[in-house]
């Protein structure tokens, strides 16, 4: 009857249509180019992991694990989760395949991630991250390398106006001392905090530093400063990193309020932020996570990395600015009649073997109609096969963009003739 409602995509999960994919592929080519410059190699891990992986890495009390994961039991009753990020997967894979013991790894990845957040511009439930993970170096040289890699990528893509914010969270012990001091202070103002922050006070007080609430921000003005809780070795490491960034002529701002939404960070953390994307300001974020391999059952391995939201990056690039003109076919094969179609499929394959991009007329139609399609396709040349041509093993070659007049050629001359026309177009 045709009255069924149409099936729609899942909320927060987007189709990327061919025009958009052209742009994505250019960005992906840039990722490949820039990571290659620094010796990073691609890793691909599954989209599904055991739920435990994320509970043990991101942290059971984080927003991601508490309320944003797509978790379900499979037919065996195993609890599986669509990955909300890929750092944990990289470390798991490194442990599992013995890539970490007495070795170093420079890895990169790109792919879909899943978080059940409230969708809005720049925030989706299926989104894509490009990330790099450097495993096995204690830093801060590797952090400086990661940052320069990021900056090179922005330059390569023509993105400007990003601000790099950096901070040091210190060791687990330093953070625990700070957490206590922060709690003492905030408890004195508890009634004035926004309700989210009140909830976080008992469980994850550092995240209160992230609050967007104006009154909470005002109270935070008087809060103790994380930087003062670092021990001297941590302070030295952080200032050495700043020396390296200065030497690489990288601009940054120290933001002692910068904390991250994942629990595995130790020491250095950073974010590139923009004011061009509305509420979703973080384009790329990461830091050091020295405890994670051990937390996941491997040997202690120092590590650092970042991940960048590709939707946000592409929004910044601006589709128009990046996209090279759409690729047009070299030839359009006009095939008039049943016999011509049979002959034409062979011609098409031979022309493609010779390296041409060929669009074949499918769906029949008279000569005039097919020539209109040929013209609309953007092809340089139409190759026309009609009923009479089948007998004589000939075809007509018709330049479409003012490269001479139509002529008849023998089928075995076709490739040479077409090449001549296309060469003359190039010159
Ligand atoms: P994250 O801060 O959770 O870190 O995510 C990194 C980036 O992914 C964000 O800055 C943002 O650009 C993008 N992103 C996150 N959620 C969404 C969303 N719902 N929609 C669109 N984009 C989003 C991590 O995931 C860590 N694994 C980063 C890391 C790698 N740390 C060390 N190595």
Going by C-alpha positions, the residue among 118, 130, 129, 119 that lies closest to residue 14 is 119
Per DSSP, which regions of 86-151 are E strands? Answer: 105-114, 126-135
Cα R_g (the chain), whole angstroms: 29
Give the CA distances from residue 123 to residues 86, 117, 211, 335, 393, in Å, rounded to whole numbers and listed in that order: 17, 8, 18, 48, 59
Distance from residue 264's CA to the centre of ligand 1 (Å): 14
Nearest atom of ligand 1 to the alpha carbon of 289:
32
Average of per-residue pLDDT across 102-123:
96
CA distance 228 to 238: 13
Average pLDDT of the chain?
A: 93
**Ligand 1 center to 257 CA (angstroms):** 18
- Pick the range with the lowest mean pLDDT from 154-158, 162-166, 384-388, 422-426: 422-426
pLDDT in tens, 248-282: 999 999 998 898 889 899 999 999 999 988 888 89
Residue 334 has pLDDT above 80, yes or no: yes
Measure 113 CA to ligand 1 centroid, in angstroms: 9
Residues whose beta carbon lies within 6 Å of some atom of ligand 1: 85, 87, 115, 117, 123-124, 127, 129, 131, 133, 261-262, 282-287, 289, 305-309, 311-312
Q: Take residue 198 and report the two structure tokens written for it.
A: 């009140």
Atom index in ligand 1 nearest the CA of residue 131 equals: 30
Residue 322 confidence (pLDDT) above 70: no
**Strand order, beta sheet including 79-82:** 48-50, 79-82, 70-73
The answer on pLDDT for 28 being more than 90 is yes
Contacts of 21 (CB under 8 A, 6+ apart): none
Q: What is the pTM of this model?
A: 0.90
Cβ pair 131, 86 in contact under 8 A:
yes
Please report the pLDDT score of residue 356 as a whole number.
95
Model pLDDT for residues 355-374, shown as the tens digit of each residue = 999 999 999 999 999 999 99
pLDDT per residue as tens digits for the range 113-138:
999 999 999 999 999 999 999 999 99
196-244: pLDDT as tens digits: 888 888 888 888 888 888 899 899 899 998 888 888 989 999 999 999 9
pLDDT at 95 over 90: yes
CA dist., res. 245 & res. 151, Å (int): 11
325 has pLDDT over 80: no
Instruction: Give residue 309's pLDDT band: very low, low, confident or very high (50, 70, 90).
Output: very high
């Amino acid at each position: 009857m045709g009255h069924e409602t149409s099936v729609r995509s899942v909320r927060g999960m987007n189709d990327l249509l061919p025009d958009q994919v052209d742009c994505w592929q250019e960005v992906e080519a840039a990722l490949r180019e820039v990571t290659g410059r620094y010796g990073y190699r691609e890793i691909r891990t599954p989209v599904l992991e055991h739920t435990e992986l994320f509970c043990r890495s991101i942290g059971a009390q984080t927003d991601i694990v508490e309320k944003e994961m797509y978790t379900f039991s499979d037919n065996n009753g195993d609890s599986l989760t669509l990955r909300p990020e890929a750092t944990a997967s990289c470390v798991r894979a490194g442990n599992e395949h013995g890539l970490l013991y007495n070795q170093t790894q420079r890895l990169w990845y790109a792919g879909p991630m899943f978080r059940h957040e409230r969708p809005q511009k720049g925030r989706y439930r299926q989104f894509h991250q490009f990330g790099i993970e450097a495993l096995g170096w204690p830093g801060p040289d590797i952090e400086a390398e990661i940052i320069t890699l990021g900056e090179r990528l922005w330059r390569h893509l023509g993105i400007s106006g990003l601000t790099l914010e950096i901070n040091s969270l210190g060791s687990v012990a330093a953070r625990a001392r700070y957490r206590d001091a922060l709690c003492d202070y905030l408890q004195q103002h508890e009634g004035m905090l926004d309700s989210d922050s009140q909830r976080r006070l008992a469980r994850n007080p550092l995240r209160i530093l992230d609050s967007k609430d104006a009154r909470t921000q005002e109270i935070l003005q008087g809060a103790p400063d994380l930087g003062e809780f670092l021990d001297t070795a941590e302070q030295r490491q952080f200032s050495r990193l700043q020396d390296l960034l200065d030497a690489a002529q990288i601009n940054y701002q120290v933001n002692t309020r910068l904390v991250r939404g994942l629990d595995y960070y130790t020491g250095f953390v950073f974010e590139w932020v923009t004011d061009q994307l509305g509420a979703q300001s973080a384009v790329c974020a990461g830091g050091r996570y020295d405890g994670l391999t051990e937390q996941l059952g491997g040997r202690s391995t120092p590590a650092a990395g970042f991940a960048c939201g590709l939707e946000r990056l592409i929004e910044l690039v601006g589709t128009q600015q990046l996209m090279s003109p759409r690729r047009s076919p070299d030839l359009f094969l006009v095939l008039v009649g049943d016999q011509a179609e049979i002959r034409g499929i062979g011609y098409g394959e031979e022309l493609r073997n010779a390296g041409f991009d060929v669009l074949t007329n499918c769906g029949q139609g008279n000569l005039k109609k097919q020539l209109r399609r040929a013209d609309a396709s953007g092809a340089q040349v139409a190759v026309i096969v009609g009923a009479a041509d089948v007998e004589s093993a000939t075809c007509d070659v018709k330049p479409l963009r003012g490269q001479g007049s139509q002529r008849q050629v023998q089928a075995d001359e076709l490739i040479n003739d077409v090449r001549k026309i296309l060469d003359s177009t190039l010159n």
